[in-house]
Each structure stands twice: as structure tokens, then as C-alpha cells.
């Protein structure tokens, strides 16, 4: 009789990974504006389809360009997702939103600022209309990149995708794992590709989703490499996540930190 193979869950599709980054927030910067450095907004909020509200100082050159342009200014917004634990190279994923930046009329700008104050409170929203202006980026296309690949994703695909069920809780969970359970991370070494198993150095958790755990490990010749360790089956609840991780480690279920 043939051996029955356990079906591994797939890697989340690009749109889902991008939508998870949008849901977490991430750092934002307008790039390619002609300025010597990227333009970091005073605050930003990206909606599910990639449409992004940004608060810029009134005297910023990009804001002046948007104010004078009837059709908006072509820009690229870079959203950066960082590792949940401190690392020398913390960037783990990027989403580039390409589109046009518009300045609404003052009334619409104030309305958006009030809406954001309820949806995503930020102290800099108090500056809207008082030395800063709310602008909106309408994306026409987007590109997502991480260690597993780089691919385009449309605003429609981004809006239709569901964020990973653990995208908002992975940081405290992985911080606890990294700080309190290094022995469990060490136990994951047996799942690494053969060329990485014998290299000394810490295994650091850099992400978790419904399909698996992502770790950063020392690579041959120096440097590091990001590796996905797939779960035996998809996890959809915190309890299932704990059990899938316990299967990888080969030990009792890791309990969440109290408080």
C-alpha cells in the first residue's frame, strides 16, 4: 500500500499577505517625489483597497504640488512591515502603492480627519487644519514583496482579500516566544533545510500566519535567511495555532502570556 501524505497548507496568497500588512499599519513614506529624502507623513491610514489618507505639513513641497494640481500628483507610497522582534535588519515586507495624491476641499479634509479620529486615533490629527493638511492617495496599482516573492496586486484584489486571522496578535505572541522560550525555537532546527541545520546561531521568529511560522536563521557564509515552516494544517483560531506550533516543536502546547 502507498504512503498517505499529509497535505501541507499553502502559503497565503500575495493579496492576503498585502492586506495583512495594511491591517497592521506599518511605516509609510512617499518615495520618488524629487526630494533628497523620502517624505514621512505626520500620520497615515491605509484603507482595505489601498486608498490612503496622509497628513502633511502645509509647507511641504508635495502638499503644495497636490494643492495646485487638478488631477493629483503621481506618487508612490511605500509601506514597510517590520519584524516583531528586534533584529539588525528589521524589514520583512514591503507594499508599494502607486497612484495620484489629491488634496480635498477643506470641509472634506476635516470630515476625513474626524472619521480617522474614530477609526484610527492619532495625536497628530489635532494638527489637521492647523498647520497640516489631510491628503488622499488613490492607488492605481500595487506591488508586494517579502522573502517569499514579489508580485503585483490590484486595489480590487487587495480590498477583496481577508487579512490573516493572527496579523494583529502575532507581535506579542512572537515577542513572548522569543524572550521566554528559546528552547522551543531551538527545537525548530530539525525542520530547517539541511544546509541550515548545522549553523550556529539563534533562530528568531519573524512572523506567523494561518499557514505556518516564519523564522530568520544564520546562513552559510554569514548573513541570514528567512524560512517558512509550514503547519500540518491551517490554523484559524488561537487554540489551533497553539496546537500547530506544538506539533512543530514536539512539546506540550505553549500557553499565551498572562495579561
Q: The domain that contains 69 carries what CATH number? A: 2.30.110.10
CATH code for position 229: 3.20.180.10
* pLDDT at residue 253, rounded to an integer: 55
How does pLDDT run along the chain (259 residues), one tens digit per residue?
444 444 556 789 999 999 999 999 889 999 977 777 889 999 999 999 999 999 999 999 999 999 898 899 999 999 999 999 999 999 999 999 999 999 988 888 888 888 888 888 899 998 988 899 999 999 999 999 999 889 999 999 999 999 999 999 999 999 999 999 999 999 999 999 999 998 989 999 999 999 999 999 999 988 999 999 999 999 999 999 999 999 999 875 555 544 4
- Residues with Cβ within 8 Å of 137's Cβ and at least 6 positions away in sequence, in order, are 50, 51, 52, 53, 54, 75, 77, 97, 99, 100, 101, 102
Same domain membership, residue 183 and residue 118? no
Q: How far apart are CA 156 and CA 233, in angstroms?
A: 28
Q: Is residue 6 part of a domain?
A: no
Q: Is residue 2 part of a domain?
A: no
Of 45, 41, 65, the C-alpha closest to 55 is: 41
Same domain membership, residue 146 and residue 201? no
Q: Evaluate whether 132 touches 58 at the Cβ level (below 8 Å).
A: yes
Same domain membership, residue 179 and residue 66? no
Same domain membership, residue 65 and residue 182? no
Q: Is residue 7 part of a domain?
A: no
pTM (two decimals): 0.89
DSSP assignment letter at 39: B
Q: Is residue 8 part of a domain?
A: no
Same domain membership, residue 236 and residue 194? yes
Q: How far apart are CA 238 and CA 145, in angstroms?
A: 27
The CA-atom distances, in angstroms, between 115 and each of 81, 112, 175 are: 25, 5, 32
* pLDDT at residue 9, rounded to an integer: 61
Same domain membership, residue 177 and residue 122? no
Same domain membership, residue 143 and residue 90? yes
- Residues with Cβ within 8 Å of 122's Cβ and at least 6 positions away in sequence, in order, are 43, 45, 116
Same domain membership, residue 243 and residue 188? yes
Same domain membership, residue 110 and residue 196? no
**Domain end point (choices 135, 160, 185):** 160
* pLDDT at residue 186, rounded to an integer: 94
Q: Is residue 174 part of a domain?
A: yes
Same domain membership, residue 174 and residue 152? no
Q: Is residue 3 part of a domain?
A: no
Q: Is 27 helix (H, G, I), strand (E, B) or coil?
A: strand
* pLDDT at residue 251, rounded to an integer: 74
* pLDDT at residue 252, rounded to an integer: 59
Same domain membership, residue 117 and residue 78? yes
* pLDDT at residue 36, rounded to an integer: 78
> Domain of 73?
14-160
Q: Is residue 53 part of a domain?
A: yes
Q: How far apart are CA 122 and CA 196, in angstroms?
A: 43
Alpha-carbon 170 to chain mean position: 11
Q: How far apart are CA 50 and CA 18, in angstroms?
A: 10
Q: Please tell me the total count of domains within the chain.
A: 2
* pLDDT at residue 236, rounded to an integer: 94
Amino acid at each position: 500500500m502507498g504512503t498517505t501524505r499529509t497535505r501541507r497548507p499553502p502559503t497565503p496568497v500575495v493579496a492576503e499577505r498585502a492586506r495583512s500588512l495594511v491591517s497592521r499599519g506599518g511605516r509609510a513614506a512617499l518615495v520618488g517625489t524629487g526630494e533628497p529624502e523620502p517624505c514621512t507623513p505626520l500620520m497615515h491610514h491605509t484603507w482595505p483597497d489601498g486608498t490612503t489618507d496622509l497628513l502633511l505639513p502645509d509647507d511641504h513641497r508635495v502638499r503644495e504640488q497636490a494643492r495646485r494640481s487638478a488631477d493629483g500628483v503621481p506618487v508612490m507610497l511605500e509601506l514597510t512591515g517590520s519584524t516583531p522582534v528586534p533584529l539588525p535588519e528589521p524589514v520583512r515586507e514591503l507594499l508599494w502603492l502607486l497612484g495620484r495624491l489629491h488634496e480635498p476641499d477643506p470641509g472634506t479634509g476635516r470630515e476625513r480627519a474626524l472619521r480617522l479620529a474614530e477609526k484610527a486615533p492619532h495625536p497628530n490629527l489635532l494638527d489637521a487644519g492647523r498647520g497640516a493638511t489631510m491628503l488622499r492617495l488613490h492607488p492605481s496599482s500595487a506591488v508586494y514583496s517579502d522573502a517569499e516573492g514579489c508580485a503585483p496586486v490590484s486595489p480590487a484584489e487587495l480590498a477583496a482579500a481577508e487579512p490573516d486571522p493572527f496579523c494583529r496578535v502575532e507581535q506579542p505572541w512572537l515577542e513572548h516566544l522569543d524572550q521566554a522560550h528559546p528552547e522551543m525555537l531551538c527545537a525548530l532546527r530539525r525542520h530547517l533545510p539541511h544546509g541550515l541545520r548545522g549553523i550556529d546561531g539563534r533562530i528568531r521568529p519573524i512572523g506567523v500566519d494561518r499557514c505556518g511560522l516564519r523564522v530568520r536563521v544564520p546562513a552559510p557564509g554569514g548573513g541570514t535567511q528567512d524560512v517558512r515552516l509550514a503547519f500540518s494544517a491551517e490554523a484559524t483560531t488561537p487554540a489551533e495555532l497553539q496546537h500547530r506550533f506544538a506539533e512543530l516543536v514536539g512539546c506540550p502546547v505553549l500557553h499565551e502570556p498572562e495579561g
